[in-house]
Chain A
Amino acid sequence: MRGEPRTLIDKLWDSHAIVRRESGDTLLFIDRHLLHEGSFHAFEQLKRRGGKVARPDLSFAVADHYVPTRGRSAPIADPAIARMVELIGTNARERGILLFGLDDPRQGIVHVTMPEQGLTLPGLTLVCGDSHTSTHGAFGAYAFGIGASEVAHVLMTQAIWQKKPKRMRVRVEGKISPGIGAKDIALTIIAKIGADGAQGHAVEYAGAAVRALSMEGRMTLCNLSIEAGARNGLVAPDETTFAYLEGRPFAPQGEAWVRAIDDWSKLASDADAAFDREVTLAAEEITPTVTWGTSPEQALPIDAAIPDPASVADPARAAAINDAIAYMGLRPGMKLTAIAIDRVFIGSCTNARIEDLRAAAAVLAGRRAKVPGLVSPGSSAVKRQAEEEGLDRIFREAGLEFADAGCSMCVGINGDLVPPGERCASTTNRNFKGRQGPRARTHLMSPAMAAAAAVTGHLADMRELVKGRI
C-alpha cells in the first residue's frame, strides 16, 4: 500500500485497520463513539450479555432526539418520552460515559454539539447510531452511522467490522452564486445521481466551491451524503478546518495541537490517487433547489415545474412520480412557486448552525411570516450565539417561534409534529412519507429558502428577497 498514491479515504482506512481478512472485511478502531436516547436498544443488548463498555473515555452521550424544545423548566409531560431522556442519563452514568444532558450548556443535536466541542477531529474514525453521522466527515474524519447491534458491538470492543467502500469523488468547480448554500449543492447532487446513487461508496467532496465553504457548509454537505445512499462523506482538512477547531474544549492543545496540524495536513488525497467514480458539477449552474416529492432525489430548481409522469417512459419511474404527486397533493406541470405552504421549520442536524440561522434571518429581518413556524437551533450554544446577535428577535418579530435545541420537527419524536395533511417548508434532510408526522408533506430546502417561503406563504426564490441584503 505504501508508496502508492492514496485518497483521503484510503489514508483514514489504513490508519485504523486492526485486522484485515482475506474476504476484505476489516476490523477498524473507533476513536469516538457518540450516543443518544435511541441507543437504549444497544445498552439493553449490553446488559443482556453482561458486557462492559471497553472505552468510556472515547464515548460521549447527549440528549437530542426526544428532548422538548419548549418549556424545559417543567417536567416532560409524556411519560414515554420522559423515560427516553432519563434512560440515556442512567445508562451514561452507570457506564461512566460523559453526558451532555438536558440542562447541560453543551446540550444540542449530536452532529452539531460534538463538533462545537472539538470532539470531532480530522483523522479520526467516528460512529453513532444515527445515519446523519456522515456530518462529521466535514472535518476529514471517517464518520458513519450504524445500527443498534453495531452500537453494542462498538461499546464492547471499540472497533467495528467494515468492508471497504468504493471511493467516489464529487467535485464542485467554480464559484457559488451569492445566497446559494451547501443545501442547494447537496440537493443538486442527489437529484443528479439518485437517492441510491452513492450506495456502497465513500464520497470525498472536492473542488473550489467546496473549499470555499465554511465548516458549517461542509457539515451540511457531508450530512446529506446518506441521502444519496453513501456510506459517508468527507472533505479534506485545511486552514478552514484548523481555524474552526483551534481552542475548542476537547481539541488538542499545546504540543499535541502542533503535531496534529502537521499530521492533518498530510491527509488530503494524493494528487494522482485514483477514485472508483468521479462526478463533476459546475457551481455556477447551481440555483436554489427544493424537493417536491417523497424522496430527496425528487429535487428541482425553484423555477421548475412538477414533472408529468405521462412523459416518463419507464413504468416503475412513472409509478414513483405518480405516487409522490398523490401523497404531496400536487398536479403535474404545476410551477413550484405556486405551491402554498402551511408552516415552516428551521432546524435539524442539516441546517441549524449559526450560519444557517443568519441566512434565514437575513431574509426575515423586517418582514412578517404568513404562516406559523418553528426555529430550533442546533445546539444550546448556537441558541446563545443567536441571542447575542439578536437573531432571536428577528425570528420572533417575523412571527416565528424561537425554541430550544434538539432534533425537534425533523423526525417529530419529541412531539414537534407537522399535523396530518399540512405542508411544511423544512430545512431538514428527509421528505419521506410520514417523516415529520403521519400524512405530513415535507419540502426540503435551505434556511434562506424556508425563510422566503415563510414570508411569501408559498415556495419562493430567496434571491428576489435578499437583493441589497447579502
Chain B
Amino acid sequence: MRPFGLLDTIACPLPFANLDTDQILPARFLKRPRREGYGGFLLHDLRFGADGEDVSSLSLDDPRYGGAEAIVARRNFGSGSSREGAVYALADFGIRCVIAPSFGDIFAQNCTMNGLLVVSLTEAQIEELLASPEIVGAKPIRIDLEAQRIMCGDASYAFDIDPLRKTKLLNGWDDIDITLTHAADIARFVAADARERPWALPHRPQGAA
C-alpha cells in the first residue's frame, strides 16, 4: 500500500450530511471486478442521469476542482453499508483524504485498509473550512498526517487519530502481515479456549457437509 506522506492538494467541498455508501457507490456497480476500476461510479446517481448524461452540480465535476485528492463533507460521511467498493470508488477517482465531522465506523476502517485518511473535525471547523477562500476558491490546502494538522490559508486545525492507524497509513502497512506474526498467540488462544468454551465450535448435524 502507498504510504501516506505530506499531502498538498485542492480539497473538493461536498457540503452534504449523511453521504452514505449507497450514494458513494450505488449497489448495482458492486459486482464489477476491482481491476476494471471504480472511479467512474463515484457518487454516480448524483452526477449522471438515467441515460448516463452529466447532470452534476457537484464541485467534484467543476473543472476548478480537477485533480482534488481531498473531500470536505458534513456529518456522518460513509454511513450505512459496509461495501468496500465505496472506498474503491474514492481511491480510483484519486481521493486520498476525506475531512468531515463524523464517519461511518466500517467505512473509516475500510479507508485505513486502503491507505485513505479520514480526518474528523468539529462541525464548526467544517463550516469554517467550507466557507474558507481556499476551499471556495479551489486553492491547495496541506494535510500533514505526521503532525496531525490541516493547514488551510492562515488557519490550522489539529486532528486526533488512533496511533496504530497513523503508523499503518504513514508506512503503508497491511494488517495481514502484522497479524501473521501473531500465529503462535492465536494457536495458544485456541488451545486454551477449547477448555474454556467447549460449546463454541459448531455442532455438526448428521449428514451435514
Residues of A within 8 A of B (CB): 15, 18-19, 21, 23-25, 27, 29, 31-32, 38, 41, 44, 49, 51, 57-58, 66, 80-81, 83-84, 98, 118-119, 121, 123-124, 129-131, 145-150, 152-153, 156-159, 161, 163, 195-196, 199-200, 226-227, 229, 231, 249-253, 256-257, 259-260, 263, 294-295, 316, 319-320, 323, 411-413, 420, 430, 432-435, 438-439
Residues of B within 8 A of A (CB): 15-18, 20, 22-23, 26-28, 30-31, 33-34, 45-46, 50, 74-76, 79-85, 87, 102-106, 109-110, 113-114, 123, 127, 162-164, 175-176, 178-180, 182, 185-186, 189-190, 193, 196-205, 208-209
Q: How many residue-residue contacts, CB under 8 A, span A and B?
A: 196
Would B196 and A15 count as touching, CB distance under 8 A?
A: yes
Would A27 and B185 count as touching, CB distance under 8 A?
A: yes
Instruction: Decide yes or no: A123 and B197 within 8 Å by CB, A118-B203, A147-B84, A147-B110 being known contacts.
Output: yes
Which B residue's beta carbon lies closest to that of A78?
B31
For B85, B175, B209, which residue has the most chain A Cβ atoms within 10 angstroms? B175
Residues on B with C-beta less than 8 A from A435 are 22, 27
Cβ 8 A contact of B164, one of A25, A32, A83, A319: A25
Instruction: Decide yes or no: A249 and B203 within 8 Å by CB, A149-B114, A316-B127, A430-B20 being known contacts.
Output: yes
Would B203 and A19 count as touching, CB distance under 8 A?
A: no
Cβ 8 A contact of A420, one of B15, B50, B102, B203: B50
Instruction: Decide yes or no: A81 and B31 within 8 Å by CB, A157-B176, A259-B199, A420-B50 being known contacts.
Output: yes
Q: How many angstroms from the CA of A426 to the CA of B57 in the assembled complex?
A: 30
Would B45 and A434 count as touching, CB distance under 8 A?
A: yes
Residues on A with C-beta less than 8 A from B202 are 32, 57-58, 119, 250
Q: How many angstroms from the CA of A439 to the CA of B45 in the assembled complex?
A: 8
Residues on B with C-beta less than 8 A from A249 are 203, 205, 208
Residues on A with C-beta less than 8 A from B103 are 199
Which A residue's beta carbon lies closest to that of B111?
A147
Residues on A with C-beta less than 8 A from B76 are 195-196, 199, 229, 295
Would B123 and A250 count as touching, CB distance under 8 A?
A: no
Q: How many angstroms from the CA of A297 to the CA of B175 in the assembled complex?
A: 34
Which A residue's beta carbon lies closest to that of B162?
A163
Would B185 and A18 count as touching, CB distance under 8 A?
A: yes
A18-B189, A19-B185, A25-B164 known; 13 new pairs, CB 8 Å cut-off, are A38-B83, A51-B176, A121-B200, A131-B82, A147-B113, A150-B109, A195-B79, A252-B203, A295-B17, A319-B15, A320-B16, A433-B22, A434-B23
Residues on A with C-beta less than 8 A from B113 are 147, 149-150
Which B residue's beta carbon lies closest to that of A155?
B176
Residues on A with C-beta less than 8 A from B34 are 41, 44
Q: How many angstroms from the CA of A144 to the CA of B127 in the assembled complex?
A: 32
List 14 interface pairs A-B (beta carbons < 8 Å), by A numbering. Answer: A31-B200, A131-B82, A147-B83, A157-B176, A195-B76, A229-B79, A229-B102, A259-B198, A260-B199, A316-B123, A320-B18, A411-B81, A412-B28, A430-B81
Q: How many angstroms from the CA of A306 to the CA of B103 in the assembled complex?
A: 27
Would B203 and A438 count as touching, CB distance under 8 A?
A: no
Cβ 8 A contact of B45, one of A131, A250, A412, A438: A438
Would B18 and A294 count as touching, CB distance under 8 A?
A: yes
Would B198 and A23 count as touching, CB distance under 8 A?
A: no
Q: How many angstroms from the CA of A130 to the CA of B109 in the assembled complex?
A: 14
Instruction: Decide yes or no: A147 and B105 within 8 Å by CB, A44-B34, A196-B76, A249-B205 being known contacts.
Output: no
Minimum C-beta distance from A102 to chain B (A): 16
Instruction: Decide yes or no: A253 and B22 within 8 Å by CB, A21-B164, A23-B163, A147-B110 being known contacts.
Output: no
Q: How many angstroms from the CA of A121 to the CA of B197 in the assembled complex?
A: 12
Residues on B with C-beta less than 8 A from A319 are 15
Minimum C-beta distance from B87 to chain A (A): 7
Minimum C-beta distance from A224 to chain B (A): 12
Cβ 8 A contact of A153, one of B74, B127, B179, B182: B179
Shortest Cβ-Cβ A-B pairs, 7 listed: A260-B199, A149-B113, A147-B110, A147-B84, A148-B84, A252-B199, A249-B205
Would B22 and A434 count as touching, CB distance under 8 A?
A: yes
Residues on A with C-beta less than 8 A from B22 are 430, 432-435
Q: How many angstroms from the CA of A435 to the CA of B23 in the assembled complex?
A: 8
Would B74 and A316 count as touching, CB distance under 8 A?
A: yes
Which B residue's beta carbon lies closest to that of A148?
B84
Minimum C-beta distance from B206 to chain A (A): 9
Would A147 and B197 count as touching, CB distance under 8 A?
A: no
Q: How many angstroms from the CA of A51 to the CA of B198 in the assembled complex?
A: 28
Q: How many angstroms from the CA of A32 to the CA of B199 in the assembled complex?
A: 13
Instruction: Decide yes or no: A413 and B182 within 8 Å by CB, A21-B164, A23-B163 being known contacts.
Output: no
Which A residue's beta carbon lies closest to that of B113?
A149
Minimum C-beta distance from A67 to chain B (A): 13
Residues on A with C-beta less than 8 A from B80 are 131, 226-227, 430, 432
Minimum C-beta distance from B2 to chain A (A): 15
Would B127 and A152 count as touching, CB distance under 8 A?
A: no
Q: How many angstroms from the CA of A31 to the CA of B199 in the assembled complex?
A: 11
Which B residue's beta carbon lies closest to that of A320?
B17
Residues on A with C-beta less than 8 A from B85 are 41, 148
Would B164 and A57 count as touching, CB distance under 8 A?
A: no
Residues on B with C-beta less than 8 A from A226 are 80
Instruction: Decide yes or no: A124 and B82 within 8 Å by CB, A18-B182, A147-B87 being known contacts.
Output: no
Would B197 and A15 count as touching, CB distance under 8 A?
A: yes
Instruction: Decide yes or no: A438 and B209 within 8 Å by CB, A15-B196, A159-B186 being known contacts.
Output: no
Q: How many angstroms from the CA of A58 to the CA of B45 in the assembled complex?
A: 38
Instruction: Decide yes or no: A413 and B197 within 8 Å by CB, A130-B82, A150-B109, A196-B75 being known contacts.
Output: no
Residues on A with C-beta less than 8 A from B16 are 320, 323
Residues on A with C-beta less than 8 A from B200 are 31, 121, 123-124
Would B203 and A29 count as touching, CB distance under 8 A?
A: no
Residues on A with C-beta less than 8 A from B176 are 49, 51, 152-153, 156-157
Instruction: Decide yes or no: A250 and B205 within 8 Å by CB, A121-B199, A148-B84 being known contacts.
Output: yes
Minimum C-beta distance from A320 to chain B (A): 5
Minimum C-beta distance from A434 to chain B (A): 5
